[in-house]
Chains A and B, each alone.
Chain A
Amino acid sequence: MDMKGRSIVSIRDFTHEEIASIVAKALEVKAGKWPQAMRGKVLATLFFEPSTRTRLSFEAAMVSMGGQVIGFADPNVSSAKKGESLADTIRTVTGYVDVIAMRHPLEGAARLASQVASVPVINAGDGANQHPTQTCLDLVTIHEEFGRLDGLTVGMLGDLKHGRTVHSLAQALSHFRSRLVLISPPSLRMPDHLKLELEAAGCAFEEVPTLESVPCKLDVLYVTRIQKERFADFQEYERVACAYRLNRETLAGACSQARIMHPLPRVDEIAEELDGTPNAIYFRQAHNGIPTRQALLGLVTGAIR
């Protein structure tokens, strides 16, 4: 599969084979197969919205493969502040670098950038829409744990309405005959249009209101944060957040063997007492951001084939 020149904008753009191939390349990179593959190449990290974790992960990925990085982490220092359009910023930067990683607060910004750029654009988050490199690293972590992506039972817990990571992960897993168990309060259920997409893709899923009502053994439990600002009533938030908090007690039953994942940062939705258990793989998941982004940077620039 040749991905040279291709932008990574949305997980929706990728087939089953392409996703499987990206995951395989990330595992090769992690095994040390492509050292210094980015030597002589330059990455621009354009962060129109702050994100320390994702930006550092992209920069570390590039530098440790011998590449160089230019960019900005604060839109106030870019010419967007002077009123330059995003399209013009991209048209300019595209002449300086081999690949662009961009985060922007507006949805669809990465798609627009990919249309005007002459080098590949990797979406590092466009508002509430997509964050495809996060999804890829989630899949790499799952593959690393189970040796496969096919046929796993994956629980998704928390805010399934607003959480873009669970939306993209569900879309990706729908290619792999997964069974999804969607665990959320009624007010934070996965949006209907996404459920229709899962149905159309033939992905089996069920919705349950609590961890106790999970009907089957889970291979993975993907936890997301329930954000305070989604609730008008603070007491209601406290009640809901408390009911979805994961600890030794709530992890019993169907979830007892499940690998726990989380896109991080965590606040208090996973008790620290679980950090040392074999279930907890969320920090390893975060570390997989490096080989995953290295694989993507290499694939789209043609440095990895």
Chain B
Amino acid sequence: MNDTSRARKVYAIERGTVIDHIPSPMALKVVQILGVQKQGILTVGMNFPSKRLGVKDIVKVENLILSSQATDRIALVAPTATINIIEGGQVVEKRPIHLPAEFKGLLRCPNPRCISNAEKVTTWFLREGAGADMAVRCVYCERVYQNPAELVV
């Protein structure tokens, strides 16, 4: 697929945030985590061929410039993603995802005996390790989970 044919599939935007290199099929999860479902025009493309990932998803959010703090929240489901900030049809900033040291309000503790499932509490997890060995620890019940992406609400 060349640039022209791709442009017909996912059209270029004048201003906004493009999240590229999302591992398929996590695009909808990314939209959900970013909370941009009702923030103007949203383009979601899935299963594009990718040299790096084999297949990838792309999300374009028009007229919304997302901060690093906002986009880093997708680190658990799309660690390979790249963020492109578009102004006047040009990429003015390109940045990777940074893995945050903690996640607040993003994950749900699967422990039914955890207080975070009984009270109105903003869930809070600390990251332990990185890469394949990454785990998260619930600040409340202190349990460790090796599969943090599965805990995303």
Q: Knowing A10-B142, A107-B141 touch, does A112 contact B121 (C-beta < 8 A)?
A: yes
User: Which of A86, A108, A112 is close to B142, meaning CB atoms less than 8 Å apart?
Assistant: A108
Q: Is residue B55 contacting chain A, with contact meaning CB distance below 8 A?
A: no
> Hey, which chain B residues are within 8 Å of A109, CB to CB?
115
Whether the Cβ atoms of B138 and A108 lie closer than 8 Å is yes
A96-137 contacts to B, CB under 8 A, are: 104-109, 111-112, 126-130
> Hey, which chain A residues are within 8 Å of B139, CB to CB?
108, 111
In this complex, what residue of A is CB-closest to B145? Answer: A193
Q: How far is the CA of A12 from the CA of B144 in the complex (A)?
A: 13
B20-68 contacts to A, CB under 8 A, are: none
Q: Is residue B1 contacting chain A, with contact meaning CB distance below 8 A?
A: no
Interface extent on B, as a size class? Answer: 10 to 19
Q: Is residue B153 contacting chain A, with contact meaning CB distance below 8 A?
A: no
User: Which of A10, A107, A128, A130 is close to B115, meaning CB atoms less than 8 Å apart?
Assistant: A107
Whether the Cβ atoms of A107 and B119 lie closer than 8 Å is no
> Hey, which chain B residues are within 8 Å of A87, CB to CB?
119-121
Whether the Cβ atoms of B120 and A108 lie closer than 8 Å is no
> Hey, which chain B residues are within 8 Å of A107, CB to CB?
111, 113-115, 140-143
Q: How far is the CA of A111 from the CA of B139 in the complex (A)?
A: 8
Q: Is residue B84 contacting chain A, with contact meaning CB distance below 8 A?
A: no
Q: Knowing A107-B140, A108-B138 touch, does A128 contact B113 (C-beta < 8 A)?
A: yes
> Hey, which chain A residues are within 8 Å of B116, CB to CB?
108, 112
> Hey, which chain B residues are within 8 Å of A130, CB to CB?
142
User: A-facing mask of B115-152, CB < 8 A → 1, else 0?
Assistant: 11011110000000000000100111111100000000
Q: Is residue A85 contacting chain B, with contact meaning CB distance below 8 A?
A: yes
Whether the Cβ atoms of B113 and A106 lie closer than 8 Å is yes
Interface extent on A, as a size class? Answer: 10 to 19
Q: Knowing A107-B141, A107-B142, A130-B142 touch, does A112 contact B119 (C-beta < 8 A)?
A: yes
Whether the Cβ atoms of A108 and B144 lie closer than 8 Å is no
User: A-facing mask of B93-126, CB < 8 A → 1, else 0?
Assistant: 0000000000000000001011110111100000
Q: How far is the CB of A30 from chain B (nearest CB, A)?
A: 30
Between B115, B116, B143, B144, the greatest number of chain A beta carbons within 10 A of the residue's beta carbon is seen for B115
Q: How far is the CB of A130 from chain B (nearest CB, A)?
A: 7
Whether the Cβ atoms of B113 and A86 lie closer than 8 Å is no
Q: How far is the CA of A129 from the CA of B139 in the complex (A)?
A: 11
Q: How far is the CA of A263 from the CA of B111 in the complex (A)?
A: 26
Q: How far is the CA of A57 from the CA of B30 in the complex (A)?
A: 51
Q: How far is the CA of A126 from the CA of B121 in the complex (A)?
A: 16
> Hey, which chain A residues are within 8 Å of B114, CB to CB?
106-108
> Hey, which chain B residues are within 8 Å of A129, CB to CB?
141-142
User: Which of B111, B135, B140 is close to A112, meaning CB atoms less than 8 Å apart?
Assistant: B140
Between B120, B121, B139, the greatest number of chain A beta carbons within 10 A of the residue's beta carbon is seen for B121
Q: How far is the CB of A17 from chain B (nearest CB, A)?
A: 22
In this complex, what residue of A is CB-closest to B144? Answer: A193
Could you list some 20 contacts between A and B, CB below 8 A?
A85-B119, A86-B115, A86-B118, A87-B119, A87-B120, A106-B113, A107-B111, A107-B114, A107-B115, A107-B140, A108-B115, A108-B116, A108-B139, A111-B115, A111-B140, A112-B115, A112-B140, A127-B113, A129-B141, A193-B135
9 tightest Cβ-Cβ pairs between the two chains A and B: A108-B140, A107-B141, A108-B115, A193-B144, A108-B141, A106-B115, A109-B115, A111-B140, A112-B115
Give the B-binding residues of A (Cβ under 8 A).
10, 12, 85-87, 104-109, 111-112, 126-130, 193
